[in-house]
Amino acid sequence: MRTESVSASPFWAGVRALARLGRRDADGRSEIAVPAPTPTKASARIGDLLRAELVLPVLSAEGRDDVIETLAARVAACHPGVDAARLVAALREREDQMTTALVDGVAIPHARMPGLDRTVAAFARSAAGIRWDSLDGVPTRLIFLLAGPADLPGPYLKTLAGVSRLLSGARCRTRLLEAAGEAEMLAVLRDEEDRGLRNARAA
């Protein structure tokens, strides 16, 4: 029986495309390629970026732009130093380069912004699914927004890789879709992240 490697799956093809888009400096020039992601102590913890106020278990949105605006507003409300309009513009610019909706109902809208002093994030779930030009045509149900400092690409790219790796897991996605609310969704993300780190250390 033939088995398909994880690295050859459509999801990870999309992750590689996202990574290529992320590897741009402030002038739009390509940066040095980042090797395949592996969990390390230097990697930003995804669970530490989120709190209950940044998790939306019931997202009502007409489409991709509505999702981006809603999540950017939530990030700005929780992080007063973030300008929602600038964040929306940066995220839309990234979407114009290539969709950040991957496969299996996952989208990871992301951007680097001048003036940010840390990586910020928000997470949302849509019961009905959002039409988002996904790589497999499936409506997007799990959306993880990520924005990082323009002058600190390393930690941001590690976090982006970590989010991609986490949401590539079918068990993680199923648990997130079945979670009762924001507290349980956040607990699932942290538990699955811890499980992945334990497995990596044991390998």
pLDDT digits (tens, 9 = 90+) for 73-83: 999 999 988 99
Supply the range of the domain harboring residue 72. Answer: 46-202
Q: How confident is the model at residue 8 (pLDDT cuts 50, 70, 90)?
A: very low
Q: How confident is the model at residue 17 (pLDDT cuts 50, 70, 90)?
A: low
- Residue range 123-152: average pLDDT? 94
- Residue range 183-203: average pLDDT? 91
| pLDDT given for residue 44 in this prediction | 61
DSSP 113-134: ETT--S-EEEEEEEEEEE----
Q: How far is CA 94 from the centre of its chain?
A: 13
Question: Is there a domain that residue 70 lies in?
Answer: yes
Q: Is the pLDDT of residue 147 over 90?
A: yes
Q: 162: closest CA among 42, 75, 21?
A: 42
Q: How confident is the model at residue 18 (pLDDT cuts 50, 70, 90)?
A: low
Q: pTM here?
A: 0.81
Question: Is there a domain that residue 22 lies in?
Answer: no
Question: Is there a domain that residue 134 lies in?
Answer: yes
42-92 confidence digits (pLDDT tens): 346 888 899 999 999 999 888 999 999 999 999 999 998 899 999 999 999
User: Residue 55 maps to which CATH number?
Assistant: 3.40.930.10
Question: Is there a domain that residue 7 lies in?
Answer: no
Q: How confident is the model at residue 26 (pLDDT cuts 50, 70, 90)?
A: very low
Q: How confident is the model at residue 192 (pLDDT cuts 50, 70, 90)?
A: very high
Report the percent of the chain where pLDDT is more than 90: 63
How many domains is the chain built from? Answer: 1
Question: Is there a domain that residue 146 lies in?
Answer: yes
| pLDDT given for residue 194 in this prediction | 92
161-184 confidence digits (pLDDT tens): 999 999 999 999 999 999 999 999
| pLDDT given for residue 53 in this prediction | 96
DSSP 89-106: HHHHHHHHHS--B-STTE
Half-sphere exposure of residue 142: CA atoms within 13 angstroms, side-chain side: 24
Question: Is there a domain that residue 39 lies in?
Answer: no
What are the residue numbers of the active site?
110
Q: Is the pLDDT of residue 41 over 60?
A: no
| Tokens standing for residue 94 | 């990234």
Question: Is there a domain that residue 9 lies in?
Answer: no
Question: Is there a domain that residue 15 lies in?
Answer: no
